[in-house]
Chain A
Amino acid sequence: MVEATMRVDGNAMGGMLSELFAREVTSARMACDGCGKVEPLGAEHAYLQAPGMVLRCRHCEQVLLVVTRANGAYLLSFRGMRWFELPAES
């Protein structure tokens, strides 16, 4: 049993990520490497109150993406996604 009052939607990471990708990404789809389910970023679970931002699969809570900021750079780790689909045009 888990409690998730800190959890928000992937939408909340939308500002920072959309800036990095130079296009709207909250409707961009991704496939979870753990359970294979495909969802848009906005529908996944985001945890922002941390030393970094963590995006987890809404179905299996596997970590999809971790974003940390260090020394003037963003570090993105996509290790939990099989793929991430970006619209061709910004």
Chain B
Amino acid sequence: MAHVSRGFRGKRAKEREGDRLPPGQYLVEGFPVLSAGPTPHTPLEEWSFSILGLVAEPKTWSWEAFGALPKEEVRTDIHCVTKWSKLDTTWEGVSIDTLLEGVEHHATHVLAFSDGDYTTNLPLEDVVDGKAWVATAYDGRPLEPEHGGPARLLVPHLYFWKSAKWVRGFQLRDHDEPGFWESYGYHMYGDLWREQRYAGD
């Protein structure tokens, strides 16, 4: 074991919060920013969200059209694979169920894609039935670019790398294919409670 640094505790707020923390996680104050690349800044006039792939008809919304969709307020805990967790975070977003309304498809899986070439894969059943949103506000304010603004995916029941920042759409597929972190050794699914952080977990 490494040399223990006398008196060092680190920034963890509390060790456990009942059983709300999945195994291996700790609480943090603040909202850490993690990024695999430069922060994109797509102007809103150029922004769009699309549903593509195995669909009868692709669908696209401009920022304005997206803003007119019904929104939900979400209060949830979020958990990063790097072990920090935040409880009771509040968001506002459009449910994926709303986005998929009327979309004819035979898909079983989704590849979410973002500005900056980031992708992440999910089973379709993990983003429907009230389990996922495209969020445009956090803590009562428009989502900041460093946290994924103007819009990010929000899938709180999986590790937060699946909640793709700067999301621009979904590719619907009939098979599972690894996205960015998944192709570098992270788990294809990412279940919090089974601690599926890395491939093979």
Complex Cα–Cα for A3 and B37 (A): 9
Within 8 A of A (CB), among B44-92: 80-82
Contact (Cβ within 8 A) B38 A3: yes
The dominant DSSP class at the B interface is loop
Also in contact, A3 and B145, with CB within 8 A (given A49-B34, A51-B82, A51-B186): yes
Contact (Cβ within 8 A) B184 A47: no
Q: Which of A1, A2, A5, A51 contacts B161 (CB 8 A)?
A: A51
Within 8 A of B (CB), among A1-24: 1-7
**Total B residues in contact with A, Cβ cutoff 8 Å:** 28
Contact (Cβ within 8 A) A4 B39: yes
Of A25-33, A36-44, A65-73, A81-89, the stretch lying at the interface with chain B is: A65-73
A7: chain B residues at CB < 8 Å are 38
A54: chain B residues at CB < 8 Å are 36-37
Complex Cα–Cα for A5 and B145 (A): 12
Also in contact, A68 and B35, with CB within 8 A (given A2-B40, A3-B41, A51-B82): no
A66: chain B residues at CB < 8 Å are 36, 184
A3: chain B residues at CB < 8 Å are 38-39, 41, 145-146
B117: chain A residues at CB < 8 Å are 63
Interface flag for B24 (CB, 8 Å): no
Contact (Cβ within 8 A) B184 A1: no
Residues on B lying within 8 angstroms of A by beta carbon are: 32-41, 80-82, 116-117, 145-146, 161, 181, 183-186, 197-201
